[in-house]
Amino acid sequence: MICNPIAHENLSCHRSLKVLAEKLCQQGYTVLRFDYSGCGDSQGSFEKFSLSSGLKDIHSAVNHLKVACKLDKVCLLGVRLGASLALAYTKQFHALENLILWSPIQSGENYLKQLHEVHHRYNSTVSNIDHEYMGYQYNNKLIAEIASIRLQFRQIEQLPTLLLNDEPIATDGLDHIESFINADPSIWRFDPSKVVIPQDLIMRICSWLG
């Protein structure tokens, strides 16, 4: 099951994650892609989205996938904030086969700084709305939740995990975590019309899952 990033990063990743899902289906996997409440094609408003509501959506989606497809366990693949949510789900529920983290947020405070920088890089005018980034208004609860993020791997115990990132991330010496330094560009950093599908990385994910 794929846990998307949010807001403008989700737009940039959309096509690549669709291609990944199709490749996995061709390998015989059942794949579920979904949008959190208030995001993408789901009902609701992004202005009311929070990481806690996103975690509830993941829990509901996992339960739906297990019942509809008669599965005992699932694999979560999370991208950016979706990876943070996947980690939070793992810590709370533990019922996963394995886990794939694609460039997880290492520091929520740094992530918010990056949002601010990206917004002002592409927008010359100053928004009159607090916490508006790339056309999305982040509510105070979401801002506080993001700011509290600190990447920690101890919470995933012995769960087989694939970690994908542009640069090395310390994994606390845990040998059940396999790291892969991605040579492809980060697909969420570009205009969606300019994104190149990271075929090598997609094949790496498919190969790791077997």
Q: What is the Cα–Cα distance from 92 to 56, expressed in whole angstroms?
A: 11
Q: What is the pLDDT of residue 193?
A: 75
Q: Which of 8, 42, 64 is nearest to 191 (CA)?
A: 8
Residue 145 falls inside a structural domain: no
Strands 132-133 and 136-137: antiparallel
Q: Hunting for tokens 């990056």 — which residue is that?
A: 114
Q: What is the pLDDT of residue 140?
A: 95
Residue 133 falls inside a structural domain: no
Residue 171 falls inside a structural domain: yes
Supply angle C-alpha 10, 140, 123, rounded to 5.
Answer: 55
Q: What is the Cα–Cα distance from 24 to 42, expressed in whole angstroms?
A: 23
Residue 137 falls inside a structural domain: no
Residue 144 falls inside a structural domain: no
Residue 140 falls inside a structural domain: no
Q: Can you give the C-alpha Rg of the chain in angstroms? A: 17
| Total count of domains within the chain | 1
Residue 128 falls inside a structural domain: no
Q: Looking at residue 204, which CATH number applies to its domain?
A: 3.40.50.1820
Residue 34 falls inside a structural domain: yes
Q: Are 2 and 182 in contact (CB under 8 A)?
A: no
Give pLDDT tens digits along the chain (210 positions). Answer: 999 999 999 999 999 999 999 999 999 999 999 999 999 999 999 999 999 999 999 999 999 999 999 998 899 999 999 999 999 999 887 678 999 999 999 999 999 999 888 887 777 666 656 788 888 999 999 999 999 999 988 767 788 999 998 888 888 778 889 988 876 667 777 677 778 889 989 999 999 998
Q: Which domain holds residue 100?
A: 2-106+152-209
Beta bridge partners of 77: 2, 100
